[in-house]
Every structure is written in structure tokens, then in C-alpha cells.
Amino acid sequence: MPDINLFALETLSVNIENHIAHIQLSRPEALNSMVPAFWRELPAVVRKIDEESKARVIVISSQGKHFSAGMDLSVFTNMAKDFQGEPARRAERSRRWILELQDAFNALEEIRIPVLVAIQGGAIGGAVDMICAADSRYCTLDAFFTIKETELGMTADVGTLQRLPHLIPQGLVRELAYTGRNMPSIEAKECGFVNQVFADQKSMLKAVMKIATQIAMHSPMAVSGCKEMINYTRDHSVSDSLNYMATWQSGMLQMPDVNEAMTAGQEKRLPVYSELHKKSSGM
């Protein structure tokens, strides 16, 4: 993966403080639409934060009235220009292009640390694909969610249709996908898509940062293990997941973090944990 400067980005801004990385979509004048640079920057940023152990939790929010209008028209334009040539080779190229787009959001699941998303206004099309890959979602009262692709004559292809059925009832997923209607914040809360709804962005970010702080206080190994196990059990049987859990614990359950947690509790202080190891320099 090419190196990336976290503080010289076209589509995102990054702030890291107290073990929390706050990533903001930073093109409010364009409704934070997902231009080609976004699809390169987001996975590179979250993977760099994780691989270099720069934070224990990531919060993603956005600037402006709306969270994101989804995939920018320029991405579709580029795709249309490339839609030529011999059919089989054109199709193979198209498949690789879609897999690259999917990878941008797969990164949110694949990193070791939790990702919390704070949404205001519209989360449309590709934005729904993105937030479905996060660990937890929070939104403002004016937020709404739209599987826009159907209305544009295509099938959503970057993760919504694969992840959303694990988050909300199948019948509702199908209704939203088939109709392309807006799902308002209250409905999103009632069906379990978002954890909480807030009056405005300021109160939402304050609450989400508080949750992130609570996560960052815990052992990075314990939190990473939770994420790994929850993601695994989503796609496997209970039996397979329990077997994997036992195998994981046989290697990952060591005493330093457990002893520190117990000692800190007895001494009525916050525990102090070592960070997860950085990615090997030999890779």
C-alpha cells in the first residue's frame, strides 16, 4: 500500500487525540460526494491509522448539511468512458474496478479497531454502502438514508445489499432497495440500523466522542478480539464461531492486560495498556 500523508488529503481531514482518530469528509460544498480521490484516500487512511497503531478507535463524520451524497458523477463518467472494447475483457476490467471500490469500505471491517460513524442530513447511495461497513452508527434527527442506485438504473454494488440484511430485517432491506425511498432517522433507530438519534450534530458528536473515549480506555487487544469475533460470527455458524473463539483465546488471552485491569480497579485509577503492535517493517 502506498504511503499517505494523513494531514494532506483532498477529501478528508484527520485529527488524532487521546487515542481517537476523527476522520471528517471535508467537501461540504459538494455534499461530500465521493470523487475518485475519496476512494483512494479512505482505505489508505484507515489502514495507516490501524497499521501504525495511531489510535484505538476511529470516528467518521462529515462537514456541512449532509453526510454524503454518495458516489460523485465523475466516477460514473470515468466508468462510462472506460466501457468499451471486447466484451469479455471489458467485463473483466469492470469487475476489477468494482472490487477496488468495495475494498474502500472493506477496509473499515478489516482493520483491528472499531469504526463509529456520526451522520447528519442525507446518507445517500455510496454513503449507505460505507456506513454499513462501520461497527456502529449514530445520526441526527434530520438524517435520512437512501439506496439511491435503483433509481439510477443500477444495482447497489459496494456493500449495502450484502451487509444491510445483517443489520435490519430482510423485508425492510428489500423495500428500501426496490423503491429507493428515504428511510428517516426515527425509522432507522426503530429497526436497529442506528444506535441513537440526536437533536443536532453538535450533541451527536459530543456523545459519539464520549463512546469512543470509553472504547479507547479498554485493552486494545480485548477490543480487537471483540471486533474479530463479532465479524466472524456474522458469516459462520455458532459452532464454527465458538471453535474459532477458543483458538483465538488460546493465543491472545495473556495476563498483562488482565492484571492491569484488575490492579487499576483495586487502585481506583484508569488502566494503562500497551498499543497493538505496528505493522512489521519487513512487510
Q: In CATH, what number is assigned to the domain containing residue 251?
A: 1.10.12.10
Among the three residues 154, 185, 216, which one is the final residue of a domain in this structure?
216
Please check whether residues 16 and 116 belong to one and the same domain.
Answer: yes
Using pLDDT thresholds of 50, 70 and 90, give the confidence band for residue 90.
confident
Please check whether residues 135 and 260 belong to one and the same domain.
Answer: no
Percentage of the chain surpassing pLDDT 90?
A: 88
Please check whether residues 211 and 223 belong to one and the same domain.
Answer: no
- Mean pLDDT, range 14-31, rounded to an integer: 98
Using pLDDT thresholds of 50, 70 and 90, give the confidence band for residue 140.
very high
Whether residue 281 lies inside any domain: the answer is no
Please check whether residues 29 and 100 belong to one and the same domain.
Answer: yes
Please check whether residues 163 and 37 belong to one and the same domain.
Answer: yes
- Mean pLDDT, range 263-275, rounded to an integer: 96
**DSSP SS3 for 107:** helix
Q: Please identify which residue in the block is written with the cell numbers 489508505.
A: 44
Please check whether residues 86 and 202 belong to one and the same domain.
Answer: yes
Using pLDDT thresholds of 50, 70 and 90, give the confidence band for residue 251.
very high
Whether residue 44 lies inside any domain: the answer is yes
- Mean pLDDT, range 70-92, rounded to an integer: 81
Q: What does the pLDDT read at residue 73?
A: 83
- Mean pLDDT, range 204-226, rounded to an integer: 97
Strand order in the sheet with 182-184: 122-124, 144-146, 182-184
Please check whether residues 108 and 197 belong to one and the same domain.
Answer: yes
Question: Do 64 and 32 touch, CB atoms closer than 8 A?
Answer: yes
Please check whether residues 196 and 246 belong to one and the same domain.
Answer: no
Whether residue 6 lies inside any domain: the answer is no
> Looking at the predicted structure, is the pLDDT value of residue 282 above 70?
no
- Mean pLDDT, range 240-259, rounded to an integer: 94
Q: How far apart are CA 215 and CA 213, in angstroms?
A: 5
- Mean pLDDT, range 238-242, rounded to an integer: 98
Give the cell for residue 218. 479498554
Please check whether residues 155 and 247 belong to one and the same domain.
Answer: no
Q: What does the pLDDT read at residue 281?
A: 57
Using pLDDT thresholds of 50, 70 and 90, give the confidence band for residue 246.
very high
> Looking at the predicted structure, is the pLDDT value of residue 230 above 80?
yes
The mean pLDDT value of the chain amounts to: 94
- Mean pLDDT, range 59-73, rounded to an integer: 96
Whether residue 282 lies inside any domain: the answer is no
Percentage of the chain surpassing pLDDT 70?
A: 96
> Looking at the predicted structure, is the pLDDT value of residue 210 above 80?
yes
Using pLDDT thresholds of 50, 70 and 90, give the confidence band for residue 235.
very high
Q: What does the pLDDT read at residue 135?
A: 98
First to last CA, the chain: 10
Please check whether residues 141 and 263 belong to one and the same domain.
Answer: no
Burial 3-30 (b: 16+ CB within 10 A, else e): eeebeebebbebeeeebbbbbbbbbeee
Whether residue 280 lies inside any domain: the answer is no
Residue 268 φ/ψ region, left for φ over 0, alpha for ψ in the -120 to 50 degree band, beta for the rest: left
Question: Do 39 and 102 touch, CB atoms closer than 8 A?
Answer: no
Residue 219 CA to chain centroid, in angstroms?
Answer: 21
Return all residues near 159 (Cβ < 8 A) that are at least 6 apart: 102, 105, 106, 129, 130, 132, 133
Express each pLDDT in 142-170 by its tens digit: 999 999 999 999 999 999 999 999 999 99
What does the CA dihedral 80, 85, 86, 91 come to, rounded to 10 degrees?
Answer: -30
Whether residue 84 lies inside any domain: the answer is yes
Whether the CA torsion 158, 125, 231, 60 is positive or negative: it is: positive
Q: In CATH, what number is assigned to the domain containing residue 147?
A: 3.90.226.10
Whether residue 120 lies inside any domain: the answer is yes
| Structural domain containing residue 145 | 12-216
Q: What does the pLDDT read at residue 265?
A: 95
Q: What is the pTM of this model?
A: 0.94
Q: How many domains does the chain have?
A: 2
Question: Do 37 and 95 touch, CB atoms closer than 8 A?
Answer: no
Whether residue 209 lies inside any domain: the answer is yes
- Mean pLDDT, range 128-135, rounded to an integer: 98
Q: Say which residue, 283 or 18, is predicted with more confidence.
A: 18
Q: What does the pLDDT read at residue 38?
A: 97
Parallel, antiparallel or unpaired: strands 12-17 and 20-25: antiparallel
Please check whether residues 18 and 33 belong to one and the same domain.
Answer: yes
> Looking at the predicted structure, is the pLDDT value of residue 1 above 80?
no
Q: How far apart are CA 134 and CA 232, in angstroms?
A: 15
> Looking at the predicted structure, is the pLDDT value of residue 29 above 90?
yes
Return all residues near 262 (Cβ < 8 A) that are at least 6 apart: none
Please check whether residues 137 and 262 belong to one and the same domain.
Answer: no
